[in-house]
Amino acid sequence: MEKTKPILLTGAAGFIASHTARLLLQQGHQVVGLDNYDDYYDVRIKHLRIAELSKNPNFNFIEGNIEDEVLLKEIFSKNQFAAVINLGARAGVRNSILYPKKYFNTNTLGTLNLLNVMLEFGVKKFVLASTSSLYSGQEMPYREDIAGNCPLSPYAASKKAAEVTCYSYKHLHGFDVSILRYFTVYGPSGRPDMAIFRFIKWIDEGKPIQLFGDGLHSRDFTYVDDIANGTVLALKQVGYEVMNLGGGNKPITMNEIITMLEKLVGKKAIVSQLPAHNADMKSTWADISKAKELLGWAPKISLHDGLERTVKWYFENQKFIKDLKV
Ligand SMILES: NC(=O)c1ccc[n+]([C@@H]2O[C@H](COP(=O)([O-])OP(=O)(O)OC[C@H]3O[C@@H](n4cnc5c(N)ncnc54)[C@H](O)[C@@H]3O)[C@@H](O)[C@H]2O)c1
């Protein structure tokens, strides 16, 4: 990917995009980051991420909404982009049940807006973040070709709609699209609404862990630097491909995660069990052979090392995290 032109990275204040931006900058790319500081979770951590990235002169941040086509046109008229990486989204399965329209407006129509403006300005490379949530009910490990017609939540449905919209832009207009289905991402500066972030904080603060279900739900946890690396590799020309980015290991139960975190934090967890949610998948596990073959990608960080780095970040930022809403 040429480095004379900048890359537009949406959702730049978000967890995964901020790590992706850091990697792009390390590799010598110029990055224009776009984010509307959506308040689904505590925005103070988003401001912190942007403040960190803004120390690099090759990073330029714009506060704005991907649903705003006029703004997008203005941004594209000022920058000749090499590619667009769309990580800007409303994430969160359970929240999408309460606000389905918001999810479709951002995740589906926001994606359509980006594709339309790219078409107008002659930008053809698009990377879209999608999700393992599309695989419910399928046989594990999940392969890309068996999937994807059983979204259990408006969140998953809005992502599926974005995926297939991209296909029509590839077919009609010759776009080159990498769709990345991420599997439960964790790491430093993570999302305060997600289990690992909350569990570390609650264990350390001696507060009860709110555990949905019996703790036997399992996930294919993936370290954020591995996800950022796969996302940058996906800038490669592929035609139109859907690829899983996951840890690729046997899924780990929430109970196992709690035990590992207790050891790393050095305290016992108090567990408060809540009913399982019917929009939550029981288990996820990625077959990652396609991303290996097409992108030369493989995760490098083991779950133990990834959790260790995450807990280390927590203690380094404990004062800031103490007041953060989770
Ligand atoms: N974290 C995971 O485990 C995971 C798993 C599967 C897929 N994903 C996908 O990866 C992407 C990044 O997720 P994340 O975990 O970093 O979430 P995140 O919420 O931290 O990041 C998303 C960012 O998008 C921004 N945003 C929301 N609506 C916007 C809009 N209309 N215009 C501009 N910006 C907007 C938010 O402010 C936020 O900063 C999302 O598409 C998400 O659906 C994440």
| CATH number of domain containing 128 | 3.40.50.720
pTM greater than 0.95 (yes/no): yes
Q: Find out whether the beta carbon of 66 lies less than 6 Å from any atom of ligand 1.
A: yes
Residue nearest to atom 43 of ligand 1 (CA): 91
User: Structural domain tally of the chain?
Assistant: 1
Which tokens sit at 320? 């800031």
Name the catalytic one among 103, 142, 155, 186: 155
**8 A C-beta contact, residue 12 and residue 24:** no
Counting from 1 in the atom list of ligand 1, the atom nearest the Cα of 41 is: 19
Query: Span 71-88, mean pLDDT?
Result: 98
Buried b vs exposed e over 118-133: b needs ≥16 C-beta within 10 Å?
beeeebbbbbbbbbbb
Name the residue of 20, 40, 87 whose CB sits within 8 Å of the most ligand 1 atoms, as the mutation to test its pocket: 87
Q: Distance from the CA of 43 to the center of ligand 1, in angstroms?
A: 13
Q: How confident is the model at residue 45 (pLDDT cuts 50, 70, 90)?
A: very high
Residue 78: left if φ>0, alpha if ψ -120 to 50, beta else—which one?
A: alpha
The reply to whether 214 falls in a domain is no
Residue 152 domain boundaries:
7-190+221-246+284-301
Tell me what percent of the residues of the chain surpass a pLDDT of 90. 92
The reply to whether 264 falls in a domain is no
Q: How confident is the model at residue 278 (pLDDT cuts 50, 70, 90)?
A: confident
Q: How confident is the model at residue 147 (pLDDT cuts 50, 70, 90)?
A: low
The reply to whether 156 falls in a domain is yes
Tens-place pLDDT, residues 91-109: 989 899 999 999 999 999 9
Q: Find out whether the beta carbon of 13 lies less than 6 Å from any atom of ligand 1.
A: yes
Q: Find out whether the beta carbon of 90 lies less than 6 Å from any atom of ligand 1.
A: yes
Q: What is the CA radius of gyration of the chain?
A: 19
User: Is 155 tagged catalytic?
Assistant: yes
The reply to whether 143 falls in a domain is yes
Judged against a pLDDT cut of 80, whether residue 149 lies above it is answered with no
The reply to whether 311 falls in a domain is no
Q: Find out whether the beta carbon of 163 lies less than 6 Å from any atom of ligand 1.
A: no
User: What span, in angstroms and rounded, lies between the C-alpha atoms of 145 and 128?
Assistant: 17
Q: Find out whether the beta carbon of 154 lies less than 6 Å from any atom of ligand 1.
A: no
Q: Find out whether the beta carbon of 10 lies less than 6 Å from any atom of ligand 1.
A: yes
Q: Distance from the CA of 307 to the center of ligand 1, in angstroms?
A: 21
Name the residue of 19, 36, 193 whose CB sits within 8 Å of the most ligand 1 atoms, as the mutation to test its pocket: 36
The reply to whether 232 falls in a domain is yes
Query: Span 133-157, mean pLDDT?
Result: 86
**Nearest Cα to 294, choosing from 179, 148, 182?**
179
Counting from 1 in the atom list of ligand 1, the atom nearest the Cα of 86 is: 41
Residue nearest to atom 28 of ligand 1 (CA): 89
pLDDT for res 61: 98
Judged against a pLDDT cut of 70, whether residue 75 lies above it is answered with yes
The reply to whether 170 falls in a domain is yes
Name the residue of 72, 185, 223, 224 whose CB sits within 8 Å of the most ligand 1 atoms, as the mutation to test its pocket: 185
Which tokens sit at 101? 């329209």
The reply to whether 322 falls in a domain is no
Q: Find out whether the beta carbon of 91 lies less than 6 Å from any atom of ligand 1.
A: yes
pLDDT for res 87: 98
Judged against a pLDDT cut of 90, whether residue 137 lies above it is answered with no
